[in-house]
Structure 1
Amino acid sequence: MVDIQDVPEADIDRALELAYLVFHDRPEKEARARHHALLVRCLRIGAYDGDALVGFMAAHDFRLSVPGADLPCPGLTFVCVAPTHRRRGVLTGLMTEMLERAAATGSPLAALWASEAAIYGRFGYGGATTGVTIEIDSTRPLALRIDPDRRPLRLVDPEEALAVIGPFHESARARRAGRPTRSAPRWREEWLTEEDEEDEELSPPRIIVLGEPGEPIAGYVLYRTKPEDGGGPARAPQGLVRVDELEADTPAVAAALWECLAALDLTGRVRAWGRPADDPLLHFAADRDQVRVTAQYPALWLRLVDVRAALTARSWAAPVDVVLEVHDVRLPGNTGRFRLDAGPDGAAYEPAEAAADLALDVRELAACYLGGTRVAELVEAGLVREHTPGAAAALDAALRTPVLPHTGDEF
């Protein structure tokens, strides 16, 4: 029997050692210090077997952009259970405590990135956003179908970057669902660190912005580079450009930033991890042999802690009137039959006696909530039962967003 309780600041180093054991990690001193500082700012819950810390979970104090709103959403991180205590209910105890606390504090959502995708569905989390990795062959100029924005590009010192690109990032976050808030410490410790935690060969961060001097910027790119051997008889250097983030307020601005990245001297490959599946580059690139999607994966996993609060807080693209039969084994208050009457003017979600039009688990509802997964696809997959023909299509039309939900913030 383990006790689930708060982890005091004095036990943070113990929690980190447990996480490093579970994730087979041995970070350097500087990275350990960043992890410690991060956990000081987080909610921390532990599982104790006597005096031994055998399970741990932390949560960032995030808000998440959803269609038409910005909602409290703890971001779970450092989830781990000691190898000596697996399959003994430790993770279930931690998850239950975290969900109950989220509900008690009025957070209608919770989110995480899954190290193992098979784990979190049973706790009601659904894959709500999709990320892709894009690679550009930059041994030749980037071929484009549109004209890039020709306003000036300029480098920004990383020490000054937050003041320049932070406000633009916040406005971009509001335009696309699924994006958590980013505090100044997170900017400094996760995006603008001198050394990259995962690859010490990478350069410090470089930031290029587009816009007339003295005017608000129209976009930016944050990237790092590293040398790579080009191979072949001459063994010409063809380094890698790793794009960590690119934001633009028009396709022409994005085109200018991608063009700049592809033209960097002594490089031959641009790799952008964590791009949205509907990235405009995939359409305005003139040669899709030069610009390729090399990976696609579930990104943000979302949990509806309070289904009613979550559904009535977001905006809706079209009218819908359906009865949902929702099942939630972890938070029974979400379970039942409810009428969703929603549209551009708002939404109501109340208990219903009528027969269900759609029956689904809270996991599937979470996957569809941001508009990144179609209900009709889950009907076809046998995961949602459609009792009234056309109900899935009507709910999809109401959930639809102008752009797909997406986040590149792995936490």
Structure 2
Amino acid sequence: MNVRSVQIRELPESDIERALALAYLVFHESPRDQLREHHRAALAGLLRIGAYDGAELVGFAAAHPFSLSVPGGGELPCAGLTFVSVAPTHRRRGVLSGMMTELFARCARRGVPLVALWASEASIYGRFGFGPGSYGATVEIDARRPLALRLPPDPRPLRLVDPASAPALLGPYFEGTRSGRPGRQARTEAWWREEWLVEKAEDDDELSPPRVVALGDPLAGYAIYRTKAGDEDARTPGVVRVEELEADGPAEAAALWSYLTAIDLTGTVRAWGRPVDDPLPLLAADRDQVRVTESFPALWVRLVDVRAALAARTWAAPVDVVLDLRDERVPGNAGRFRLIASPDGFSYAPTADAPDLSLEARDLASVYLGATSVRALLRAGLIAEHKPGAAAMLDAALSTDLRPHTVDGF
């Protein structure tokens, strides 16, 4: 397709180097040779879209072929959007819109109902129908003294695991946890090795290689973490950065957190991207010792095929509402539809009946996995309720036991 003078088409493998150069220009990056090679190899296997002004590459986007967990333990194909770049000379000329239109069309043709991304600028993606599909929290623990908890930690033994053998141990366990929490992507062995257990952290050269601690046999939980030495002159303590912690339950999690806060020569444990419903702050006997320092939108989600996305999830309670859905980017989603769903069935079909709720595609995306409630958007004036009680009914049907969560960046 053409966007004024710009042509949007598939980016061939021969242009990957040009695409990386554009992405590094846009994101002000100069990565190490090893990371460049990793990016180059990853892009070879992804869907790639380029925007060309004549022979010049002025826009680029790529997408991973993921499988994403949805409420009820189901799975859906999902395009994980990444490397979205527009040359500074071609901003505000419709290049990004053209690439998004092409991406959505390709997803529709391939039967991929979801697109997800991590937004570098949150203000950009709402207009393309993306909404925050999950939220994360940063937790900081004062580890200068033993972690005080209201619950005794699981007494089973802990063991350190060689990162080289960790995927075989952790992979099946993680897959078992995914079905219980929406918004998590499946991990291949290559993803474990190339994204999770790499020797050097991409964002901080001072961090140690990854460490893996496992609880129990059979496995009842694990943590992946890195450490950084403190500065004696500045009197700053060493830091433990928790990359991921998964556990069967609160006692098992307590054992892992107790271990992490007892590592010698460290005084701070920092965990970025924890679930917003993580029980740790509730378990803390001293809330001054465990602090949630920030909460933020994490994975942004876009429903490319609304019917397929709604059909794939389960419903916690019966619902019968007419939705008036606005979607300027994917016209096939737009219109008035009656949603009838329950734990035992599902129907979503066009109707001429009066709407019960009016909303935009981005807001449907925000409530789809359970990150945001319909009533919260109603109170914010972003959804219109025409039939009293319709928002509450839809909320009850969309309810999930656990809030959506992921820390898999891409």
TM-score bin (small chain): over 0.9
Describe the superposition over 1:95-127 as per-residue Cα deviations: whole angstroms up to 9, x where unpaired.
Answer: 000011111111111111100000000000001
1:200 to 193, 201, 205: 205
Q: Are 1:298 and 2:302 an aligned pair?
A: no
Q: Tell me what 2:239 maps to.
A: 240
2:225 to 212, 223, 227: 223
Describe the superposition over 1:73-93 as per-residue Cα deviations: whole angstroms up to 9, x where unpaired.
Answer: 000000000001101110000
Deviation at 1:230, TM superposition (A): 5.6
Q: Tell me what 2:30 maps to.
A: 26
For the residues of structure 2 that align with 1:340 and 1:134, how far apart are their CA atoms? 39
Q: Tell me what 1:124 maps to.
A: 129
Q: Are 1:185 and 2:190 an aligned pair?
A: yes
Task: Give the alignment of 1:15-164 within 5 angstroms.
Answer: 15-68=19-72, 69-164=74-169
For the residues of structure 1 that align with 2:30 and 2:263, how far apart are their CA atoms? 34
For the residues of structure 2 that align with 1:382 and 1:98, how far apart are their CA atoms? 30
For the residues of structure 1 that align with 2:401 and 2:233, how far apart are their CA atoms? 43
Find the residue that maps to 2:115 and give its secondary structure.
strand
After the TM superposition, which segments of 4 or more aligned residues of structure 1 sit over 4 Å from their partners? none
TM-score (norm 2): 0.97
Describe the superposition over 1:183-214 as per-residue Cα deviations: whole angstroms up to 9, x where unpaired.
Answer: 222211111111111111000000000013xx
Task: Give the alignment of 1:387-398 within 5 angstroms.
Answer: 387-398=386-397
For the residues of structure 2 that align with 1:122 and 1:345, how far apart are their CA atoms? 35
Contact in 2 for aligned 1:312/1:346 (Cα 8 Å): no
Find the residue that maps to 1:151 and give its secondary structure.
coil
Describe the superposition over 1:344-390 as per-residue Cα deviations: whole angstroms up to 9, x where unpaired.
Answer: 11211011121100000011000000011000010110100000111
Q: Tell me what 1:12 maps to.
A: 16
For the residues of structure 2 that align with 1:136 and 1:38, how far apart are their CA atoms? 35
Deviation at 1:312, TM superposition (A): 1.2
Deviation at 1:71, TM superposition (A): 0.2
RMSD: 1.0
Contact in 2 for aligned 1:143/1:286 (Cα 8 Å): yes
For the residues of structure 2 that align with 1:154 and 1:300, how far apart are their CA atoms? 32
Contact in 2 for aligned 1:73/1:109 (Cα 8 Å): yes
Deviation at 1:393, TM superposition (A): 0.5
Find the residue that maps to 2:69 and give its secondary structure.
strand
**Letter paired with 1:285:** A
For the residues of structure 1 that align with 2:311 and 2:64, how far apart are their CA atoms? 24
Describe the superposition over 1:113-171 as per-residue Cα deviations: whole angstroms up to 9, x where unpaired.
Answer: 10000000000000111101000000000000111111010000010000010111111
Deviation at 1:229, TM superposition (A): 2.1
Describe the superposition over 1:382-402 as per-residue Cα deviations: whole angstroms up to 9, x where unpaired.
Answer: 100000111001100100000
Deviation at 1:50, TM superposition (A): 1.3
> Structure 1 regions of 5+ residues with no counterpart?
none
Q: Tell me what 2:326 maps to.
A: 327
Shift of the 56–252 alpha-carbon distance from structure 1 to 2, 3 Å rule, reads: same
Contact in 2 for aligned 1:303/1:363 (Cα 8 Å): yes
Q: Between Structure 1 and Structure 2, how many residues are aligned?
A: 405
Find the residue that maps to 2:322 and give its secondary structure.
strand
Q: Tell me what 1:209 maps to.
A: 214
**Letter paired with 2:314:** S
Deviation at 1:231, TM superposition (A): 6.1
Describe the superposition over 1:252-299 as per-residue Cα deviations: whole angstroms up to 9, x where unpaired.
Answer: 110000000000000000000010100011111111100001111100
Contact in 2 for aligned 1:376/1:396 (Cα 8 Å): yes
Find the residue that maps to 2:179 and give its secondary structure.
helix
For the residues of structure 2 that align with 1:165 and 1:107, how far apart are their CA atoms? 28
For the residues of structure 1 that align with 2:366 and 2:142, how far apart are their CA atoms? 34
Contact in 2 for aligned 1:178/1:370 (Cα 8 Å): yes
For the residues of structure 2 that align with 1:298 and 1:372, how far apart are their CA atoms? 9
For the residues of structure 1 that align with 2:380 and 2:276, how far apart are their CA atoms? 21
> Structure 2 regions of 5+ residues with no counterpart?
none
**Letter paired with 1:14:** R
Q: Tell me what 1:251 maps to.
A: 250
For the residues of structure 1 that align with 2:114 and 2:150, how far apart are their CA atoms? 40
Find the residue that maps to 2:264 and give its secondary structure.
coil
Describe the superposition over 1:217-268 as per-residue Cα deviations: whole angstroms up to 9, x where unpaired.
Answer: 0110000001122667xx4x62100000000011111000000000000000
For the residues of structure 2 that align with 1:184 and 1:40, how far apart are their CA atoms? 18
Q: Tell me what 1:358 maps to.
A: 357
Q: Tell me what 2:342 maps to.
A: 343
**Letter paired with 1:221:** A
Shift of the 134–241 alpha-carbon distance from structure 1 to 2, 3 Å rule, reads: same
Find the residue that maps to 2:165 and give its secondary structure.
helix
For the residues of structure 2 that align with 1:189 and 1:83, how far apart are their CA atoms? 31
